[in-house]
Structure 1
Amino acid sequence: MKAPSFAYSKPQSLAEAFELATHPGAKILAGGQSLIPSLNMRLSAPEVLVDITGIGSLRGISVEQGVVRIGALTTHAQIERSPEIARHAPLLAQAVAHIAHPAIRNRGTLGGSIALADPAAEYPACLVALGATIVVAGKDGERLVPAEDFFKGLFEVDLRPGELVVAAEFHALLKEERSVFLELARRHGDYAIIGLAAHRGAETRFVYLGAGATPVFARRASEARTLDAAISVLHEDIDPPADLYNSSATKLHLAKVLLTRAWNTLTTSH
């Protein structure tokens, strides 16, 4: 199929992008790895496509005063190859290798993944696990939204009309902290059957992807003092939906398998 007709604009500044994004029927184009297929299948029919790929200020990775900042237009491949991410955010470094295939990672962006909020996506769960902040901006200024509050429902996020995701920020990994990302899929690059982003710092956070409409923070399991206790309460935290190939019970079992692996990794000494 071919995409429906739409107007196209490529702003060169955030101010111009904010203005265009307020137009009725406007849709933001970042990496386009989800939007373009949805256009071609006519699942999306914007009146105007706002291509923000020319805004250089939305690209890049920085680490300042213990805070990692990743611009919205930073690609998966750039995150995958970044020595700063490998050192200061190993959770993302592990997760990005699970995102589709190299061709997709060369074009897809952090901001696009966050704004789409696919429940099987890796970044949203990682950002919740890291206690990250999503930086959003519009004509009225900038807002800082905790990742845990940003993802509101199935493909629904805390973006007001005319706002864009600008960046994600989180604390760099401290020496005594540990992170691990685990995912199960039928084939590498497929959508996850179930995945787990785990981080142990001042608190432990086990956050699942593919277990609900949004990243699911398993609070009771995270607060458990032993692995057996965490496994025993996990069913109170998550009730993963069945899919075409796996029942809810199967996905819960796999979630426990990942929890066991993550727990053992986090409790192993450096």
Structure 2
Amino acid sequence: MKARAFAYARPRTLDDAHAAFAAAEGDASYISGGQSLVPALAMRLQAPQVLVDLAGIEALRGVRLEGDWLRIGALTRHADALTDPLIRAHAPLLSAAAPFVAHPAIRNRGTLGGSVALADPASEFPAMMLAMGAEMEIFGPEGLRRVPADDYFQDLYQTAIVPGEILVALHVPVVGPRRCWAFDELARRRGDYAMVGGGILAERDGGRIGALRIAFFSVGPTPMRARAAEAVLTGRVPDADAIADAQRALDADIDPLDDEEVPAPMRRHLARVLLGRLVRKLEIA
């Protein structure tokens, strides 16, 4: 199949991009890397009158430190999570997750902002934003606003972004010297969507696990925060008993869909196995 005919706009500013969207009376789509949108257009799952290309907007580019936050422009490529020194130093879960995302051709074109805006519950980067406690910078008619990851992911492919708004940047709290982290996923083949995946960002506390955030993907309609498991692990030595207690608590945190390929009970089991692997990977000592 081929995409339906559409008009094309390539604005240079956020205001111009929003104006182009508004002029189409909502019958428009923003595009950045296009790794999800282009196939949807080709299959006519989406058929906007206007395609608004965000690639020329300088405000969406760049990675820089801003005090205790790392600002990652929405047009930052997946591949940059592997190579950018600021991301590797201050947002290491993104660097840990990046090699698992699809294949090099996808990573070279896909953008972090596009992934987080789409909010595919089976994708790595949205869940890592949740694990890191990131905030999303969004531009709309009232200007800029920032939304914490805990409030950003709302339902299946639904976020705090309303039609016409643009995800501008991802703000990640800078990782300090007492932090440790782990990422892993279980997939049939490297590059496939994971059957289950997750990441942990934790503080070291004298050989024990301090404050931590755990996020999973492919276990519910959104990236899922494992709050019950976090509560069980906080203040504990990461031994076999702590892991077993956290694995039992995890059932309250996830809501996997039941499908023929990976039934919900299987996803729950895999999530418990993965949680054990993640905790064992943490360098708490």
Given the two structures, how large is their TM-score scaled by the length of structure 2? 0.91
Q: Can you give the 5+ residue segments of structure 1 that lack an aligned partner in the other structure?
A: none
Task: Indicate whether 1:261 and 2:277 are aligned.
Answer: yes
2:215 corresponds in structure 1 to 207
Q: CA deviation at 1:14?
A: 1.2
For residues 105-184 of structure 1, the aligned pairs below 5 Å read: 105-184=107-186
Q: Which residue of 2 aligns with 1:219?
A: 227
Letter in 2 for 1:266: L
Asked if 2 retains the 8 angstrom alpha-carbon contact of 1:88 and 1:172, the reply is yes
Aligned-residue CA RMSD (Å): 1.2
Q: Which moved more, 1:193-202 or 1:216-225?
A: 193-202
Q: Aligned with 1:224: secondary structure?
A: helix
Q: Which runs of 5+ in 2 are unaligned?
A: 204-209, 234-241
Structure 1 residue matching 2:230: 3-state secondary structure: helix
Residues 207-240 of structure 1 deviation map (CA, whole Å, 9 limit, x = unaligned)? 1100111011111111103212101111121131
Looking at structure 2, the residues matched to 194 and 257 of structure 1 have their Cα atoms a distance apart, in angstroms, of 10
Residue identity (%): 45
Determine if contact 2:33/2:110 at 8 Å carries over to the other structure. yes
Query: How far apart, in 2, do the equivalents of 1:5 and 1:258 lie?
Result: 45
Q: Which moved more, 1:183-192 or 1:61-70?
A: 61-70
Structure 1 counterpart of 2:15, which letter?
A
| Structure 2 residue identity aligned to 1:229 | D
Encode CA deviations 1:71-128: one digit per residue, 9 max, x unaligned: 0001111221111111111111011111111110111001110111111011111011
- Does structure 2 retain, via aligned residues, the 8 Å contact 1:90–1:180? no
Partner of 2:10: 10
Aligned residues: 269
2:72 to 70, 73, 81: 70
Partner of 1:91: 93
Separation (CA, whole Å) in 2 of partners of 1:256 and 1:92: 22
Work out the CA distance in 1 between the residues paired with 2:75 and 2:143.
Answer: 19
Distance (Å, rounded) in 2 between the aligned partners of 1:129 and 1:3: 36
- Report the Cα distance in structure 2 between the residues aligned to 1:177 and 1:265, rounded to whole angstroms: 13
Shift of 1:267: 4.9
2:221–2:255 Cα contact (<8 Å) kept: no
The answer to whether the Cα contact below 8 Å between 2:180 and 2:284 also exists between their aligned partners in 1 is no
The equivalent residue for 2:21 is: 21
